[in-house]
Structure 1
Amino acid sequence: MTDLLDRFVSLPDALASTPVLAIGLTLGAFFAGNWLFARIGRPLWLPPVLLSAVILSGVIGLLALDYHAYQDGAGWISVLLGPATVALGIPLYQQIHHIRAMWRPILVTLPIAATMAAVYALIIAWALGATPEVLASLAPKSVTAPIAIGITQQLGGAVPLMMGGLLITGIVATLFVDLLARWLSVRDERILGFALGLNGHAIGTARAFEIGTKAGAFASLGMGLTGIFTALILPLIGLDFFTAG
């Protein structure tokens, strides 16, 4: 009996040495967050990804799990971020005729909006005395996670800090796009979707698919183009600035 009890007590440590516990906790928090989100009426200001993150953080704290051990195990799920992003090409293909009709506004809007998304955060953080590492972590805050991770590492930023910035940006952008759309009476799914994807990356894109397939396709386009533009431009114009001092 004592031997069985010792095995039960040591089970969390044994599971923590494998990816099983980290993957199980992540998936469990994801489903719990989505369930809770539906139960409280799907508020825009409290998306399921935030609920899942809070639940997961609480469970990790209660179990006293080592964060780095969890991160290593959850890395198996992070690998799926790339294929999931690429899979968004399917709705893009389905809506390609609408995208072709809007190529001029997209071409004009994207560079300005993507540049401003990085610049205003850098200006605010710099004015508040942020270190180069913090600046490098905040710069790709409007870029989808698979691309933002690479940009952050190249600039010398902290990936955990960047992920926090991504979460906050996605929530705030989604909320403000929705509020401004109501205030300005914007109902065109193409405009709403592109704005959500460009400013709110994956969180905004998820919201866009709730609006409609067309909005989701344009959100996927905005998210993808913002990631490509930022990945190409930001390291070239900002690397010396981030690493200076």
Structure 2
Amino acid sequence: MTETLVDLPAIGASPLFGLALTLGVYVGASWLQRRCGGIALLNPVLVSVTAIVAVLSLGGIPYEHYMRGAQYVGVFVGPATVALALPLYDNLGSIRRSARAILPAIAIGTLVTSLGALGIGYMLGASREVALSLAVHSATTPIAMGITEEVGGVPALAAAFTLITGLSGVLLHGPVMRLARVKDWRARGLGVGTVAHGLGTARMLQINATAGAYAGMSIGIAALLTSMIVPLVASFWPG
């Protein structure tokens, strides 16, 4: 008997499959992290990506079929981004008092992370397309992909580098901050938000509301600066 009771490729072709799989896996991953005491290594995004890749690979489901439904998850990105304004509003007084230090800090952080990535890519012999895709790794994924496409990079690579950067920030920010003896939650939030974008900000919001507010603010400013820095560098980069 060669037929199986469940035809996964056929189920995967349904637009509802990608949406249901994404939401179901993420809810399960979030529950798992809470159940295990909030271990950073069990970050819901990391667990979800691993689980979804396993399901698609084992089930023989093409990525294009999965994305027919998974693309609708993007509908939630707008409300989630707007929701970041709430902790910002709660910390507006503190942000105003620190404005003179905030803007230079984010600008320097964005320059270092973008140009540093370009420099590392160049020294390792990466092509122009790969290096430019790497340069946007600290911007949010939609903006990173848009910038990369505009300057002649590879959007898919940019998305992968951005995801890896965000997950690295989630996993490593604690040890790095302790090593650097950074105890102020405002400074921690600025650093993580500038480097690790949305994933880092989500983690900061779980740990401390003030850090989450500063991280949320730095995302927008860092993305804006990245959208100016990378195209400028790309214009001088020999094609």
Shorter-chain TM-score above 0.5 = yes
Contact 2:9–2:60 (Cα < 8 Å) also in 1: no
Give the C-alpha shift of residue 55 in structure 1: 0.5
Give the C-alpha shift of residue 132 in structure 1: 2.1
In the TM superposition, what are the counterparts of 1:190-205 in structure 2 within 5 Å?
190-205=186-201
| 1:125 and 2:135 correspond | no
Distance 2:235 2:87 in 1: 34
| 1:179 and 2:165 correspond | no
Aligned-pair Cα RMSD in Å: 2.2
In the TM superposition, what are the counterparts of 1:205-244 in structure 2 within 5 Å?
205-241=201-237, 244=238
In the TM superposition, what are the counterparts of 1:75-94 in structure 2 within 5 Å?
75-94=71-90
**Structure-2 residue corresponding to 1:68:** 64
Give the C-alpha shift of residue 162 in structure 1: 1.7
Is the partner of 2:89 in helix, strand or coil?
A: helix
Contact 2:141–2:163 (Cα < 8 Å) also in 1: no
Distance 1:185 1:124 in 2: 26
Contact 1:45–1:172 (Cα < 8 Å) also in 2: no
**Structure-2 residue corresponding to 1:112:** 108
Contact 1:81–1:145 (Cα < 8 Å) also in 2: no
Q: Which moved more, 1:55-64 or 1:148-157?
A: 148-157
Distance 1:97 1:198 in 2: 21
Give the C-alpha shift of residue 89 in structure 1: 1.8
Distance 2:229 2:24 in 1: 38
Q: Deviations over 1:1-52 (max 9, x none)?
A: xxxx99x755752x44442111111112212222332344433344221111
Q: Which moved more, 1:151-160 or 1:22-31?
A: 151-160
Consecutive unaligned residues of structure 2, counting only runs of 5 or more, are none
Q: Which moved more, 1:94-103 or 1:39-48?
A: 39-48
Distance 2:177 2:170 in 1: 11
TM-score (norm 1): 0.87
Q: Which moved more, 1:89-98 or 1:216-225?
A: 89-98
Consecutive unaligned residues of structure 1, counting only runs of 5 or more, are none
Q: Deviations over 1:109-144 (max 9, x none)?
A: 111110111111111112222122212221111011
